[in-house]
Amino acid sequence: MRARSRSLTWHGQTFRFEYTPAPRDARTSLWAVSRRGEFIGMMACSTEVTTKDFDVRGLGWLDDLLGGGKPAR
């Protein structure tokens, strides 16, 4: 994915994913994830992922992190 940032909505809340630079030969990139300006974690993702696959992975990552489908408070 060429984008360096992406916003996804999960359970009505907007989460921002920001690319963090990795070594040129890395096959995995790291994305800093925040909500309302607060850092909540780092998501690893293949450097070859498509935008659609990134969205699916990001939403799944949020679901796993924030309570298995229950909205965060």
Query: Does residue 11 form part of some domain?
Result: yes
Q: Show contacts of 36-40: CB within 8 Å, 24+ apart.
A: 40/15, 40/65
Residue 1 pLDDT greater than 90, yes or no: no
Residue 9 pLDDT greater than 90, yes or no: yes
Query: Does residue 70 form part of some domain?
Result: no
Main-chain dihedrals φ then ψ at residue 49, nearest 5 degrees: -70, 145
**DSSP-derived secondary structure for 28-58:** EEEEEEEETTEEEEEEEEETT--HHHHHHHH
Query: Does residue 61 form part of some domain?
Result: yes
* pLDDT of 21: 83
Mean pLDDT score of the chain, rounded to an integer? 88
Domain count, the chain: 1
Q: What residue numbers bound the domain in which 61 lies?
A: 5-65
* pLDDT of 69: 54
Query: Does residue 33 form part of some domain?
Result: yes
Higher pLDDT: 67 or 33? It is: 33
pLDDT tens for each residue of 21-42 = 877 777 888 999 999 999 999 9
Query: Does residue 59 form part of some domain?
Result: yes
Query: Does residue 9 form part of some domain?
Result: yes
Q: Per this entry, what is the length of the chain?
A: 73
Residue 12 pLDDT greater than 90, yes or no: yes
Query: Does residue 71 form part of some domain?
Result: no
